[in-house]
A and B are shown apart, each in its own frame.
Chain A
Amino acid sequence: MSKKQLYSITALFDSPDAIINAASETSKAGYTKYDVNTPYPVHGMDGAMQLKPSRLGYFAMAFGLLGAVSAIGFMTWVTLVEYPLVIGGKPFWSWPAFVPVSFELTVLLASVLSIVAMIVIYFKFPNNAHPLHDTKYMKAVSSDKFGINIQANDPKFDEKVITEFFKSLGSKDIAPIYFDDEELQHGQKLFDPKFIGILLLVAIISSGATYLIFNQLMFMPPFNWMMTQEKLKAQKPSELFADGIGMRKPVEGTVARGILPYPFKGQPDSAGKYLVNPSLPTKEVLETGKQKYLTFCSPCHGNFGQGDSRLRGQFPNPPTLHSDKVRNWPDGNIYHVITEGQNVMPSYAPQIARDDRWAIIHYLRALQRAQNAKESDLK
């Protein structure tokens, strides 16, 4: 076994005043390669150690800017290029919404990367240990003592002189710290084939297990008990039928309940002539009509059918529903327009049920009557 290599001489002190004094005496004595370890930040240490202003701020600034730029850049790319989505009627690139995220990422990267940078610099990456680790000295300074250590690579280093020097400062606990023999002989453990191999093995096992659990095991009985059921799901194939299609078409010559095929496709005039409103304008029907009208029709036609849309020109405004033409139309004609659409107005058949369309027509008639009241209505 070779002679142990010295890292530094450490000394422990009992009070913050003593460590401040020790630090300033050490820097006055001309030592440069030394460091102070305390359980908490001691006020005035920078001055006592004659430290130059820390350059950590510039690192933090760079990392913070990186965070801000990447957050803003990412959100810009998402909202403008990759997946533009209208949210709350706001522009795609809505910067106020980016501010909290950018702020968080700025703070996150600035703090986390600063710590990573500190570890990289102080532990001399790829080394991941420090000679001071796991020593009595480190245990003491992380609980209630204040420590100082002068490193062996200081140009003025002399073991005896420094021990005497620390004694003269009033320290009762002076000890040398040695490099870990094993570490020195084996070099970097980070690139040790065994270490890398185990790391790889762990990575393969954990990712493989994740794959097996979520993509295989979950599809096996009994874990699939909610996913696999006897019933046929929509859009799925079926072996029962000869054509292999699970969803069946209605039998020819029949119609489903509640659904009547519209017989007047492309024939508004015949619709007006032959179709009669099947419902009566009772209070309930008018209420339904009002509700459906306000939901589906009013965005373009306006709340009172005057063609004053609230879409602010994003869709062409329709003409008023109080024109003579619409007022003199039979109900069937209006029904045809709602069902089939007209000009830029699309068909509303999928959205509004048949009876609701007729209810809307009743409500529309009421609106028209309100706008063009007859003398007799006022009595």
Chain B
Amino acid sequence: MKKELPSKVKNLGWALLFVGIVIYAIGYTVNPREAAFNNIIGFLFITSIAVGSIFLIALEYIAGAVWSVPMRRVNEFMGGLILVAPIVAVPMFFHLHDIFHWTDLGAIGTDELLKGKQPYLNLNFFIIRFVVVFALWNLFYRLFTRNSLKQDLSKDQKLTTINIRLAAVFLPVFAITLTVTAVDWAMSLEPHWFSTILGVYYFSGTVLAAVATATYIIVKFHENGYLQNLKRDHFYSLGALLFAFINFWAYIAFSQFLLIWYANLPEETIWFMKRWEGGMQFVSVLLIIVHFAVPYFLLLPQEAKMNLKRLKFMAIWILFAHLFDLYWLVMPTYANGVTIGWMEIGFPVLIIGLIIVVLGYKMKRHNLMPVGDPKLERGLKFRL
């Protein structure tokens, strides 16, 4: 059951990765500040897919889900990105002063708010958090996949039980670590501003990105004869999950907006004002259309969720929407108004390359289906 990616796709992955590295290198020499901000987007994007995939694995175990078992390996492959995500973050650590205002000790001296937040927002603790968060994610990823892969050979049911317990431990850890990541890399860009819901906001995008990536890969595999046993019931479930999280994102995004709009406190509204001035208002409206309205109506009909072509298109669309969402989250701090240049378009190339390379690497080594999982049989027979 081990399959290799076609060499054409693999070469494309390596080429994109190489081009991406070149773009990063040029970006950091030409305009380190803009490059660092784009690096945040890329880093959050790849982290989304990686940790979102681990979340989906844990969710499957803890919910006792059956339908997703035949496709779990794709999530396990994509969870592998958690190893490379910190590497993507490395260049930013040389430019933290360009990104984070709170690293400026001079500013802290005159700023009461920053002084108050210093126990949390300081460089040492920031780096500790980063290391701990990624260590935890890597640890859980290792444990989940190790047990899952061991099961391929031993067919030991106990391993499933162990993974269910692991998932119960992982999910609260995931909730905290993901919030920490969102606060550290997205919210602390504007250290005066705060929103208690931002962690959930990033979470909604995270799960969307992970499901969309998995959907695209699964449909592609299916079309090319890799996961042939999947039926429309499986694809319908994937589409329904996408649809659900599209709505969840809109719900969370609007909740954040409504509370800030209602209270109308200057320290909170400034964040939305930045996204409503100098052309950004069009970008904000476009985000609602791209991230909610279009996918909502395209995924609403029952047939749409079983239509492989539509699913593939929507998966790519939603991945782009998530990237766009991160752009909307991060870039207004870089400069007021709309920032769009070759860097904004070029930086995601590296991430796409990384995804393909990691997928190819993992596919070569591991079975495409968890052949030892006791739920696999039922999963393949799954009917709506």
- Which A residues are closer than 8 A to B by beta carbons? 43-44, 46-47, 53, 57, 88-90, 96-97, 99-100
Query: Which residues, 115 to 162 on B, are CB-close (under 8 Å) to A?
Result: none
Whether A46 contacts B302 by the Cβ 8 Å rule is no
Does B257 have its Cβ within 8 Å of any Cβ on chain A? yes
How far is it, in angstroms, between the C-alpha of A100 and the C-alpha of B259 when the chains are bound?
A: 12
User: Using an 8 Å CB-CB cutoff, how does the interface string of B234-266 with A read, 1 for contact, 0 for none?
Assistant: 000000000000000000001001100110100
How far is it, in angstroms, between the C-alpha of A99 and the C-alpha of B254 when the chains are bound?
A: 9
Residue of B nearest to A44 (CB): B383
How far is it, in angstroms, between the C-alpha of A99 and the C-alpha of B261 when the chains are bound?
A: 13
Whether B264 contacts A89 by the Cβ 8 Å rule is yes
Chain A contacts of B340 at CB under 8 A? none
Whether A57 contacts B383 by the Cβ 8 Å rule is no
Q: Which of A43, A88, A100 contacts B264, CB < 8 Å?
A: A88
Whether B384 contacts A57 by the Cβ 8 Å rule is no
* Shortest distance from the beta carbon of B292 to any chain A beta carbon, whole Å: 13
Q: Which of A44, A53, A90, A100 contacts B258, CB < 8 Å?
A: A100
A-B interface contact total, Cβ < 8 Å: 23
Whether A53 contacts B383 by the Cβ 8 Å rule is no
* Shortest distance from the beta carbon of B19 to any chain A beta carbon, whole Å: 43
* Shortest distance from the beta carbon of A89 to any chain B beta carbon, whole Å: 7
Whether B257 contacts A96 by the Cβ 8 Å rule is yes
Query: Which residues, 38 to 68 on B, are CB-close (under 8 Å) to A?
Result: none
Residue of B nearest to A46 (CB): B384
Chain A contacts of B257 at CB under 8 A? 96
Whether A97 contacts B383 by the Cβ 8 Å rule is no
Chain B contacts of A43 at CB under 8 A? 382-384
How far is it, in angstroms, between the C-alpha of A23 and the C-alpha of B85 when the chains are bound?
A: 51
Of B257, B262, B302, the most chain A CB neighbours within 10 A belong to B262
Chain A contacts of B382 at CB under 8 A? 43
Chain B contacts of A99 at CB under 8 A? 254, 258
A97/B262 contact (C-beta < 8 A), A43-B382, A43-B383 known? yes
Whether A88 contacts B262 by the Cβ 8 Å rule is yes
How far is it, in angstroms, between the C-alpha of A100 and the C-alpha of B250 when the chains are bound?
A: 12
Whether A96 contacts B264 by the Cβ 8 Å rule is no
Chain B contacts of A88 at CB under 8 A? 262, 264
How far is it, in angstroms, between the C-alpha of A268 and the C-alpha of B383 when the chains are bound?
A: 90
Chain B contacts of A96 at CB under 8 A? 254, 257-258, 261-262
- Which B residues are closer than 8 A to A by beta carbons? 254, 257-258, 261-262, 264, 302, 382-384
Whether A53 contacts B302 by the Cβ 8 Å rule is yes
Residue of A nearest to B263 (CB): A88
Whether A44 contacts B261 by the Cβ 8 Å rule is no
Chain A contacts of B264 at CB under 8 A? 88-90
A44/B384 contact (C-beta < 8 A), A88-B264, A96-B258, A96-B261 known? yes
How far is it, in angstroms, between the C-alpha of A99 and the C-alpha of B256 when the chains are bound?
A: 13
Whether A57 contacts B302 by the Cβ 8 Å rule is yes
Of A43, A89, A90, the most chain B CB neighbours within 10 A belong to A43
How far is it, in angstroms, between the C-alpha of A249 and the C-alpha of B22 when the chains are bound?
A: 91
How far is it, in angstroms, between the C-alpha of A89 and the C-alpha of B264 when the chains are bound?
A: 9
How far is it, in angstroms, between the C-alpha of A146 and the C-alpha of B257 when the chains are bound?
A: 48
13 pairs of residues in contact across A and B, judged by CB atoms under 8 Å: A43-B382, A44-B383, A46-B384, A47-B383, A53-B302, A88-B264, A89-B264, A90-B264, A96-B257, A97-B258, A99-B254, A99-B258, A100-B258
Chain B contacts of A46 at CB under 8 A? 384
The 4 lowest CB-CB distance pairs between A and B, nearest first, are A44-B383, A43-B383, A96-B261, A96-B258
How far is it, in angstroms, between the C-alpha of A88 and the C-alpha of B383 when the chains are bound?
A: 52
How far is it, in angstroms, between the C-alpha of A43 and the C-alpha of B231 when the chains are bound?
A: 14
How far is it, in angstroms, between the C-alpha of A325 and the C-alpha of B54 when the chains are bound?
A: 75
How far is it, in angstroms, between the C-alpha of A363 and the C-alpha of B258 when the chains are bound?
A: 41
5 more A-B contacts (CB under 8 A) besides A89-B264, A100-B258?
Answer: A43-B382, A43-B384, A53-B302, A90-B264, A96-B261
How far is it, in angstroms, between the C-alpha of A90 and the C-alpha of B260 when the chains are bound?
A: 13
Chain B contacts of A90 at CB under 8 A? 264
Residue of B nearest to A94 (CB): B261
Residue of B nearest to A47 (CB): B383
* Shortest distance from the beta carbon of A70 to any chain B beta carbon, whole Å: 21
Residue of B nearest to A20 (CB): B383
Chain B contacts of A100 at CB under 8 A? 258
* Shortest distance from the beta carbon of A249 to any chain B beta carbon, whole Å: 47
Residue of B nearest to A43 (CB): B383
Residue of B nearest to A42 (CB): B383
How far is it, in angstroms, between the C-alpha of A97 and the C-alpha of B328 when the chains are bound?
A: 24
How far is it, in angstroms, between the C-alpha of A326 and the C-alpha of B382 when the chains are bound?
A: 86
How far is it, in angstroms, between the C-alpha of A86 and the C-alpha of B384 when the chains are bound?
A: 51
Residue of B nearest to A87 (CB): B262
How far is it, in angstroms, between the C-alpha of A46 and the C-alpha of B233 when the chains are bound?
A: 12
* Shortest distance from the beta carbon of A24 to any chain B beta carbon, whole Å: 12
Residue of B nearest to A41 (CB): B384
How far is it, in angstroms, between the C-alpha of A213 and the C-alpha of B264 when the chains are bound?
A: 45
Residue of B nearest to A54 (CB): B302
Chain A contacts of B261 at CB under 8 A? 96
* Shortest distance from the beta carbon of B111 to any chain A beta carbon, whole Å: 23
Residue of A nearest to B260 (CB): A96
How far is it, in angstroms, between the C-alpha of A53 and the C-alpha of B382 when the chains are bound?
A: 19
Chain B contacts of A44 at CB under 8 A? 383-384
How far is it, in angstroms, between the C-alpha of A43 and the C-alpha of B382 when the chains are bound?
A: 8
How far is it, in angstroms, between the C-alpha of A241 and the C-alpha of B382 when the chains are bound?
A: 89
How far is it, in angstroms, between the C-alpha of A46 and the C-alpha of B383 when the chains are bound?
A: 10
How far is it, in angstroms, between the C-alpha of A105 and the C-alpha of B37 when the chains are bound?
A: 42
How far is it, in angstroms, between the C-alpha of A89 and the C-alpha of B263 when the chains are bound?
A: 11
Chain A contacts of B302 at CB under 8 A? 53, 57
* Shortest distance from the beta carbon of B207 to any chain A beta carbon, whole Å: 21
* Shortest distance from the beta carbon of A99 to any chain B beta carbon, whole Å: 6
* Shortest distance from the beta carbon of A72 to any chain B beta carbon, whole Å: 15
How far is it, in angstroms, between the C-alpha of A100 and the C-alpha of B255 when the chains are bound?
A: 9
* Shortest distance from the beta carbon of A347 to any chain B beta carbon, whole Å: 31
Residue of A nearest to B264 (CB): A88
Chain A contacts of B262 at CB under 8 A? 88, 96-97
* Shortest distance from the beta carbon of B103 to any chain A beta carbon, whole Å: 35
Residue of A nearest to B251 (CB): A103
How far is it, in angstroms, between the C-alpha of A44 and the C-alpha of B383 when the chains are bound?
A: 5
Chain A contacts of B254 at CB under 8 A? 96, 99
Residue of B nearest to A57 (CB): B302
How far is it, in angstroms, between the C-alpha of A99 and the C-alpha of B258 when the chains are bound?
A: 9
How far is it, in angstroms, between the C-alpha of A47 and the C-alpha of B302 when the chains are bound?
A: 14
Of A46, A96, A100, the most chain B CB neighbours within 10 A belong to A96
How far is it, in angstroms, between the C-alpha of A47 and the C-alpha of B254 when the chains are bound?
A: 38
Residue of A nearest to B383 (CB): A44
Residue of B nearest to A97 (CB): B262
* Shortest distance from the beta carbon of B140 to any chain A beta carbon, whole Å: 31
How far is it, in angstroms, between the C-alpha of A53 and the C-alpha of B384 when the chains are bound?
A: 13
Residue of B nearest to A61 (CB): B300
How far is it, in angstroms, between the C-alpha of A365 and the C-alpha of B193 when the chains are bound?
A: 40
* Shortest distance from the beta carbon of A102 to any chain B beta carbon, whole Å: 12
